[in-house]
Structure 1
């Protein structure tokens, strides 16, 4: 059984374009910018965290992508990136992301800033609808996935789409080796 079949057996899948109430406002507004199908499904907010969702659905970590917001500065200019990595990997913040942002030090964006600037809930932040000045870096393994579960901007739902659809975001950059396997 593939990811979509497993999810549809447990949740009602709705075309995302017709379900703005299942997404943060910036996410819903950006859905038309994606090439490819995107479906939304409501979940219990208690299972919004990746590990809880995977436990509840019986899916493996390769079916879910996490969005990690990272920031750094160079010459007084702040540079922010949303890094999309599979749940069984970690963004290589100290080497790869730092180099891509061309900063001396990169660190996770503080939660209050991430929530405030994205217009999304902590634990539901996804790449769709992020501020235009955020780079969207997508690990190549994410871009190659046939079906992925990502944040919808709220804890009460998730989105499902292909990695290719995610990579179709206007500012998306597919990066080889953005993340390392979790040991």
Structure 2
């Protein structure tokens, strides 16, 4: 099955509300395609739709704790890599402890569906840590905020989001 990409601003019905608001500020910089929501997880999506794992990027929500305070951040890495949460991310966020945020927290705080969380439309005070390999990529496929669609966007667009920082954050999977 092939993906039918259209400008994201033309199909905001395929985007979670916070993502739709964000793409309106980036006209022409993102495309969206409808997919089978049962195939939203990266490996299944890539296999079914012919997208390679190194063209797909995952958004991981991290909870960083220090002194009784919890802060959240989003990390963008290629699907072929893993986020170094306990090393690079923890140190960068100056946290005593960092871990993947619980699913319920990630969904509630982002207003997006689990398996569709994307850096576009995240809470304004969240840092967005973009792995250098994602930032350099001409076009990556990411979540749309919903499990029933995917966005395609240049890595430089993700690196240019408000609050974004480019780091070497991933290890090969």
TM tier relative to shorter chain: over 0.9
Match of 1:139 in 2: 131
The one of 14, 34, 58 aligned to 2:6: 14
Q: CA deviation at 1:74?
A: 1.8
The one of 107, 110, 121 aligned to 2:113: 121
Residue 21 of structure 2 is aligned to residue 32 of structure 1: no
- TM-score, length-scaled by structure 1: 0.90
The runs of 4+ residues in structure 1 deviating greater than 4 Å are: none
Match of 2:102 in 1: 110
Distance 1:144 1:108 in 2: 25
Q: CA deviation at 1:93?
A: 0.4
Deviations 1:105-152 (A, max 9, x none): 101110001001110001111111011121100000000001100000
Match of 2:171 in 1: 180
Structure 1 window deviating more from structure 2 (23-32 vs 67-76): it is: 67-76
Q: 1:144 to 1:57 in 2, by over 3 A?
A: same
Q: CA deviation at 1:80?
A: 1.1
Deviations 1:68-92 (A, max 9, x none): 0001122333221100000000000
Contact 1:34 1:169 in 2 (8 A): no
The one of 79, 93, 96 aligned to 1:101: 93
Secondary structure in structure 2 of the residue aligned to 1:10: coil
Number of residue pairs the alignment of both structures matches: 173
Aligned residue runs from structure 1 range 143-158, under 5 A: 143-158=135-150
Aligned residue runs from structure 1 range 83-94, under 5 A: 83-94=75-86
Contact 2:125 2:163 in 1 (8 A): no
Unaligned runs of 5+ in 2: none
Residue 151 of structure 2 is aligned to residue 159 of structure 1: yes
Distance 1:178 1:35 in 2: 28
Q: CA deviation at 1:171?
A: 1.2
